[in-house]
Structure formats: structure tokens, C-alpha cells
Amino acid sequence: MRDARDQRDEARLVEALRSVEVEDLGPARLELERRRLMARLAASRAPLSRRGRLALSLGLAGAAVVVAAAALLVLVPGIGGSADSLVTLSGVWRLEPGDAISRGLPVRVEDGGRARLVLPGGTSIEASSGTRMTLTAEDGSAIRLDGGHAVIAVAPRAGSGMFRAVTPDAEILVHGTVFSVTVDPGRDTTVRLHEGEIRLVCGGRSVTMQPGHQVVAGATGLLSLVAYGADGHGFDANLAPHVVPPPPLRPGPALAAADGRRDGIHENGDGDVLDDPAEDDPVFTNGPAPRPPAMARSAARGREPETVYERVAEQQRMQHHEEAVALTDDAWKRSAPSDVDLLFRRARSLGRLGRWAEAVEVYGRIAGMDRERRGEAFYLAADASSRSGDFAAAVALADRAIAAGGPNADHAWSVKFGALTGMERYGDAAAAAAAYLASHPAGAHVGEAHFVRGTGLRLERRWGEAARAYGSFLERGEGAAAIREDGRFYHGYCLLMSGSREQGAAALETYLVDYPYGRHARQARVALGR
């Protein structure tokens, strides 16, 4: 009785987990992600060949013998002769300059003292009185800061290696940059960025900071993002003497004019809540060339900034789709050919907001504006229609995408199969799948087509052909877990029904071994006569 209840409960929970659907990357976004990867790889070293790795290993082994005695994890050179101010958290022993600090050992700067740590890789931390921290990665790439105040100058790391500072409220991800962190235990974490760019993650959200930004993060999430140092106040000149204070903040009229709307230019002080969609974008300007964060970032990457496009992309990256749609309002009204990229982004955000009908309208407009991208627009419109439940429109639009040809035509077939199935026109779906298999033997959706065809044949009780179709589907090893499970069961079931009793029973037995609580487990047991 108890086992039965366990099984039922688990089946419910698993069913709920399976219902969480992944949002697949479309071809355009996949390409963008590839470019992002390529940019990150360009900054990293090429992988060594096997021979190179062997040579490097031998070299390192030799070097390790020589320097083993000097293999310190952290050096403590001290500042102004106050090295003895750095003590272990337990207060059991003091550290001398040059002492090693092991990973995981908490350290505290003595009250009234100050200390400078140099981590492997060159990152330096200047910590003030009472600061408590722990090195959490042996290569010096991560620390945990539990309290106090520290200015951290992160040495650029090769490749994607990021420096990571974790506080009770937030996680800070950094390439080469200078920033300060103040942790007030039990209350909040204040991060100020002096140079470079950092990403701060808090409460499941992230924000990218530019020089001059100050973010306060609490246990409940990001509390505020304000500009600091409008008059040089609040800048840690003592702790970071090598950093030039940012110039005073001033409104950015050029930006506001460029976008045709008022952008939020926040002054010093409190109250600029980052995650309130009613607020304007948290844009700050430093010095004579005001730029929004995304522009500054794109400039840093060496690309020409595309003001509105970059900002829309930034909003989408932060999942702020309402804002992204608002930013594309002008493009929607103008509908100039140059706005096609923006309109694609508008449609994507509308989709993410569940406003599918509006998304379809945008794609329709794009199809009329840009012949070259018509196929992509029809395909995405078909997909949006299908998601909105308008399967008839989805089929019609998918047909137009297929007729337009190009790389999206292949995917449009998949939308067509799904829409026909959604209308329970299984026979038509199977016919479409057969047509696809004949015309696209190496297509991207061959596995799916076999499955759809199998379903159509099964419902017509053509068991042998259906079993072969499901078999072809399974051979390809494609499809989501739920579909694979269906395929496994129906393959066995159709074999059984076609008269191949031994093969069918074996397939269903295997199904039950792998899916003891599967959706078809009961049917499989009944079919096996249990």
C-alpha cells in the first residue's frame, strides 16, 4: 500500500517536472551564441595537441620539483609595515608577510589594521579593518567575503577565466577590473566599480555594472543601482590610490535625443530601484561621451555600437521583455527596412510575454519588408501561431516558409507536423511526414517525421508499418525524453499487435525496466498480461 502510494506520488512529481518545457534556441540566436563563443575563444589560448600536453606536463613536473618549497598559495606582503594586522579568524595565530594562506582558511584583518593580499594570478586585495574573507579557489580565482570592506584589483585572466567574489548577498563575476566591496553582515552588500566591467548576480538576477556604478544587494535581491562619486565623494582614494576617481555624473542629452525618449539619468542618492519596470533604464554617464552600458560594452569589444539595438539586446538578456518591446516602439511605427533586426527582437520579446498574435503581426510585417528574410519570418510566424494555438494559421504559414526555401524551410516542416497533430489531423500529419522523408532524406527532422508517420499509421491500425516507423525513429536517438518514451512504448506495442509477439514483448519488457513509472507503464503491463 505504502509502495503504491510512493509510486503514485513520484509519478505525479516526475510528470510535473517533465512538463517544464525548454525554450529552444532558434537558428538566429544560436548563431549569435556561436559568435559570442568565438569572441571568448579568441581571447584564450588554443588547446595544446597531445604531444604538446605531454611536453608541458614534463616541463611542469620538472619546474614543480624546483619550486615546490616556494609553492605558496597567497602571499601577504603587507602594507606600511602592518602585516601583523592580518590574523586568522580564530585568532589562534598571526600571519607574517610571505606566509601562505590555504584555500578554505578564513582570515580576518585585525581591528584598526589594514592588509594587502596578492593572490596567485596577480589579483590584489586591499582589505580594511575587520574584513573577513576566505580564499575559495587554489588558483586565486575566487574568494568569499563575509564582512568588512575590500578593494579588489583583478588581474586579467586568460580565456574565460573569471574572478569570482561571493558575499552572503551576491556573486560578483569579473574579468580584469578594479572594484570595491563592502559587506554588512545580515544586511547588504555594496559593490562599487572603479574600472572595467563586472557582472553581479543576486537573487537569480544579474546586472552588468560600468565604472561609476554602485549596486546594493540584499538577501531579497538587488536593492538599488545608483551612481557614486558625482563630486568625488565616497571614492576610496585611500584604499585605491592608483585609481583615478570617475568624472562627475551629468545628464546625457545626446542619448536621450538619439532614442527619442527620456532615459533615466540618476543622481547620487537612494531610490533608484533597479528591478522596477516602471523606472527608466538605469543609464549613467561619465564624462563627455555619455553611453549606455551596452554601448560601452560593445565599444570595449571593438564593435561599432548600435544604440537602440544594443539596448534592446541588453534588456532581453536580462529578461526585461516589456522594456525591450517599449524600446522597439519607434521601429514598429517607422517600419523602415533598416529596422528589420529590431523588429525580429520585438517579436521575440512579444513571444516571451505570451503576446503571440502581436508577434505574428510583426513577423508578417517583416515578411513584407525584407524578401531575403521572408522565409525566416514565415517560419517564426508559423511557430508563434502554433504556440498561440492557432494551428490552421500555423500550417498555412509553415507552407509559405517551406515555399520560400532557405535554411528555415526544413524547420517549418516540423512546425507543420506539430500543428496538424495539434488539430488531431493525424492522417494529414503522417502524409506530410512521408512527403518530408521523401524530399529531405538528410533533413533535421527525419526522426520526428518517422515518429509522426508512426502515429498516423498506428491510428490506422497498420501495425507492422507503424512499428517500422517507430523503429526508425528510435534508431536515430533523437527527440525529447517524453517523445522517446512514447516511441519506446509504441514500438513494442505495435510489434505485439502486428504479430511479432516475442519481439514486442521484449521491447515492452525493456520499456518497463527503463520506465518503471512511465506514462505507459500500466498499458505495457496490461499488454504483457500482468
Q: Site residues (CB under 8 A) for other proteins?
A: 5-6, 8-10, 12-25, 30-31, 33-34, 36-38, 40-42, 44, 46-50, 52-53, 159-160, 166, 171, 201-206, 219-221, 318-319, 352, 354, 407, 410, 442-446, 480-482, 484-485, 514-515, 517
Query: Which C-beta is closer to other proteins: that of 191 or that of 255?
Result: 191
Query: Which C-beta is closer to other proteins: that of 145 or that of 446?
Result: 446
2: three-class secondary structure by DSSP:
helix
At closest approach, how far in Å is the CB of 25 from other proteins? 6
At closest approach, how far in Å is the CB of 362 from other proteins? 19
At closest approach, how far in Å is the CB of 229 from other proteins? 29
Q: Which residues is 209 bridged to in the sheet?
A: 198
**Whole-angstrom distance, CA of residue 137 vs CA of residue 140:** 5
At closest approach, how far in Å is the CB of 53 from other proteins? 5
Q: Residues 521-527: contacts with CB within 8 Å, 24+ apart?
A: 523/489, 523/493, 524/489, 524/492, 524/493, 527/492, 527/493, 527/496
Between the CA of residue 172 and those of 151, 168, 294, 474, what are the distances in Å? 13, 11, 18, 44
Query: Which C-beta is closer to other proteins: that of 24 or that of 502?
Result: 24
At closest approach, how far in Å is the CB of 245 from other proteins? 32
Helix (H) or strand (E) holding 193: strand 188-195
At closest approach, how far in Å is the CB of 410 from other proteins? 5
At closest approach, how far in Å is the CB of 479 from other proteins? 10
Q: Which residues is 165 bridged to in the sheet?
A: 143, 172
**Whole-angstrom distance, CA of residue 385 vs CA of residue 419:** 9
Helix (H) or strand (E) holding 199: strand 198-202
Helix (H) or strand (E) holding 227: strand 221-227
Query: Which C-beta is closer to other proteins: that of 159 or that of 253?
Result: 159
> Cα 108 from chain centroid?
35
At closest approach, how far in Å is the CB of 319 from other proteins? 5
Class of residue 529 by CB neighbours under 10 A (exposed 0-12, middle 13-18, buried 19+): exposed
Helix (H) or strand (E) holding 408: helix 407-422
At closest approach, how far in Å is the CB of 12 from other proteins? 6
Query: Which C-beta is closer to other proteins: that of 153 or that of 446?
Result: 446
217: three-class secondary structure by DSSP:
strand
At closest approach, how far in Å is the CB of 358 from other proteins? 16
Cβ neighbours for 66, distance < 8 A, ≥ 6 positions apart: none
Query: Which C-beta is closer to other proteins: that of 50 or that of 333?
Result: 50
Q: Residues 455-458: contacts with CB within 8 Å, 24+ apart?
A: 455/421, 455/426, 455/429, 455/430, 455/490, 456/426, 456/427, 456/429, 456/430, 456/431, 457/430, 458/490, 458/494
Query: Which C-beta is closer to other proteins: that of 265 or that of 324?
Result: 324
Query: Which C-beta is closer to other proteins: that of 262 or that of 476?
Result: 476
At closest approach, how far in Å is the CB of 459 from other proteins? 20
CA 319-203-128 angle, to 5 degrees, is 125
Query: Which C-beta is closer to other proteins: that of 269 or that of 277?
Result: 277
CA 505-510-512 angle, to 5 degrees, is 95
At closest approach, how far in Å is the CB of 6 from other proteins? 6
Query: Which C-beta is closer to other proteins: that of 238 or that of 319?
Result: 319
At closest approach, how far in Å is the CB of 52 from other proteins? 7
Helices 374-388 and 356-369 meet at what angle, rounded to 10? 170
Query: Which C-beta is closer to other proteins: that of 29 or that of 461?
Result: 29
Query: Which C-beta is closer to other proteins: that of 220 or that of 238?
Result: 220
**Whole-angstrom distance, CA of residue 144 vs CA of residue 166:** 5
- One DSSP character per residue, 273-306 reads -TT-TTSPP-B--BTTS---HHHHHHHHTTPPP-
| Three cell numbers, residue 408 | 528555415
**Whole-angstrom distance, CA of residue 511 vs CA of residue 137:** 44
**Whole-angstrom distance, CA of residue 308 vs CA of residue 295:** 9
Query: Which C-beta is closer to other proteins: that of 3 or that of 304?
Result: 3
